[in-house]
Amino acid sequence: MADLSKITCIEDLRVIAKRRVPRMFYDYADSGSYTESTYRANSEDFQRIKLRQRVAVNLEGRTTRTLMVGQEAAMPVAIAPTGLTGMQHADGEILGARAAKAFGVPFTLSTMSICSLEDVSRHAGPGFWFQVYVMRDRDFIERLIDRAKAAGVSALQLTLDLQILGQRHKDIKNGLSTPPKPTVANLLNLATKPRWCLGMLGTQRRSFGNIVGHAKGVGDLSSLSSWTAEQFDPQLNWRDVEWIKKRWGGKLILKGIMDAEDARLAVASGADALIVSNHGGRQLDGAPSSIHALPAIVEAVGKDIEVWMDGGIRGGQDVLKAWALGARGTLIGRSFLYGLGAFGEAGVTRALQIIQKELDVTMAFCGHTDIHRVDRSILLPGTYPV
């Protein structure tokens, strides 16, 4: 097993993932839509927020433990759903679920995963969540929800911000497909990624495990963008949220809320939590960063529903800042994928360790020992969005 003690930050993992993961999949992760302004703002806006250093406080017995929709988490962090994760590393979703289980944080499987619900359920812990996209084929969605129940999923995330796809230039230029097409450019690139190729040769999981063999009339799945355009339902609306809530019957989390008005509708729908998210800057380019959008949503509905956020979290400081501004949970997309692409399961564990350590130490420097006592008074006035 590789010695990861010198991997000290998420950026280290990103650099190694870039070396090890085929270009089309690395670019798929490390990109936003159009000019990528929202993608960049997601992390840059965290940097602008400053913390108040406090001293001479007894720092023994610190804890970052919390609950997310009533479920245990070692820190207010869950792994976000990401499509094609099994292309960042062979069997990526299984490895991610195992690392999350051992660490004690929830893991969310995407509808667009490579490993199937059933495969991942055999490795996941109690915090095994599933993210659903609503497709035109409603029978398929009903069966998918039933499969999630049968697989022991403990909360469902319904993503509301991807009825249509924001354009990511690199995906088009790279000809993103699953598995990659044997073009000269792809073969030359794959030749420089021997570990990745070996991993892929050792697994059967190379297509969309939740979809292939389950959805009717699915044409060419290898082209993600054309398949999305064909299958995702552009008519998705709040009545569908009601229908899914009823069909599922368990904890429901709405993902992709960026506006206080939508947040109120989310509360009215009876959901258990909402995620302030712009899909990691991959959909509406020009939307504010998630951390910027968070305070107004907490102000509007924070007393009525658990408000979480994702977008731009690259360390424990970001988690603490989000918590201070009222997020009762966060999710990590790229920080997880970079760990996975760099070192598989061990890399995901390392990413979680890096985040938790930084969260714990920063909380202590701000004079706190229990995350539940942290509020916006740890932030320097004038440096955070209101």
Ligand X SMILES: Cc1cc2nc3c(=O)[nH]c(=O)nc-3n(C[C@H](O)[C@H](O)[C@H](O)COP(=O)(O)O)c2cc1C
Question: Which CB sits closer to ligand X, 22 or 311?
Answer: 311
DSSP codes joined into one string, 56-101: S----S-B--EEETTEEESSSEEEPP-TTGGGTSTTHHHHHHHHHH
Looking at the chain, the number of H-run helices and the number of E-run strands are: 15, 10
| Shortest distance (Å) from residue 350 CB to ligand X | 16
Question: Which CB sits closer to ligand X, 312 or 347?
Answer: 312
Residues tagged active-site: 279
Q: Contact 310/77 with Cβ under 8 angstroms?
A: no
Characterize the bridge pairing of strands 71-73 and 66-68.
antiparallel
| Shortest distance (Å) from residue 59 CB to ligand X | 29
Q: Contact 58/5 with Cβ under 8 angstroms?
A: no
| Shortest distance (Å) from residue 242 CB to ligand X | 20
Identity at 170, one-letter amino acid code:
K
| Shortest distance (Å) from residue 367 CB to ligand X | 28
Q: Contact 118/371 with Cβ under 8 angstroms?
A: no
Question: Which CB sits closer to ligand X, 123 or 255?
Answer: 255
Question: Which CB sits closer to ligand X, 295 or 333?
Answer: 333
* Cβ-closest position to ligand X: 333
109 forms bridges with which residues in the sheet? Answer: 130
Identity at 91, one-letter amino acid code:
D
Question: Which CB sits closer to ligand X, 179 or 381?
Answer: 179
Q: Contact 76/17 with Cβ under 8 angstroms?
A: no
Question: Which CB sits closer to ligand X, 355 or 367?
Answer: 355
3-state helix, strand, coil in the chain (%, to 5): 45, 10, 45
| Shortest distance (Å) from residue 311 CB to ligand X | 4
Interatomic CA distance for residues 186 and 206, integer angstroms: 16
Residue 226 phi, psi (nearest 5): -75, -35
What CA–CA distances, in Å, run from 347 to 15, 97, 210? 12, 12, 25
| Shortest distance (Å) from residue 28 CB to ligand X | 5
| Shortest distance (Å) from residue 313 CB to ligand X | 5
Question: Which CB sits closer to ligand X, 93 or 345?
Answer: 93
Interatomic CA distance for residues 145 and 228, integer angstroms: 19
Q: Of 85, 110, 87, 104, which is closest to residue 96 (Cα–Cα)?
A: 85
> Applying CB under 6 A, which residues contact ligand X?
28-29, 42, 80-83, 110, 112, 131, 159, 255, 277, 279-280, 282, 310-313, 331-335
Name every residue whose Cβ is closer than 8 Å to that of residue 70 and which is 6 or more positions away in sequence. 251
